[in-house]
Amino acid sequence: MDPILIVDDEEKIRSLVRLYLEREGYLVEEAQDGRVALEKFRAHQFSLLIVDLMMPDVDGWRVCREVRESSSIPIIMLTARGEEFDRVLGLELGADDYLVKPFSTKELVARVKALLRRSTGKLHPVTTEICAGLLCIDKERHRVSIGDDVISLTPLEFDLLYFLAKNRGRVFSREQLMETVWGYDFYGDARTVDTHVKKLREKLAHPNVKRMLVTVWGVGYKFDSDQVN
């Protein structure tokens, strides 16, 4: 099992998170700032990163941005702020999830487990390939392509797209998507889902493909292959 890297300039936070994760059987590494975190990330294999946003010198946003340049490893952000801007920016830079300090260690462990199940391919059984127009989603190979172009998605982005495509035409609320795709109860921030849908549309850049991710105003989202011209 590859270890989990905890990045936080508060030693008490690192020690507490490490204690609870090790109780669950996970291997844990620590980094006291973003610079050390990036050095460790480049030198070792990790299963997941837990990154505090507000750190001196190299902050969590930079860590997230640089990690995403080369890896789709799951990332959970920690922030002392409840401000929406911080959360949305972190998600747009590629983080999969976030928790606002002070947080429940039980909730953190639940989110770690959910993201690791997804990244190791244990969330769904192997099924057939889903194709709509130029878009093909291969669950077994964890591969998304538009024509001859392979699209790089994070594990969470892949599962969100796959879930919607598998249930094409059905509208899901943000709460339903959080519970089904994220793997735990919804905690009240719809922007988490909105930001990930926005990122998917940016990556599925072909106009006929990104149009398939439909916003149903006041309700949620659906996948509609009939949107192809």
pTM: 0.63
pLDDT at 40: 93
Residue 65 gets the label, from left (phi > 0), alpha (psi -120 to 50) or beta, of alpha
Token pair of 215 as six digits? 């916003």
pLDDT at 37: 94
pLDDT at 125: 41
Q: Residues in the chain with pLDDT < 50?
A: 122-127, 186, 188, 229
For residues 100 and 74, what is the distance between their CA atoms, to the nearest angstrom? Answer: 17
pLDDT at 123: 40
pLDDT at 46: 92
pLDDT at 192: 82
pLDDT by residue (tens digit) across 10-45? 999 999 999 999 888 889 999 999 999 999 999 998
What are the structural domains, with CATH classification, of the chain? Answer: 4-119 (3.40.50.2300), 130-227 (1.10.10.10)
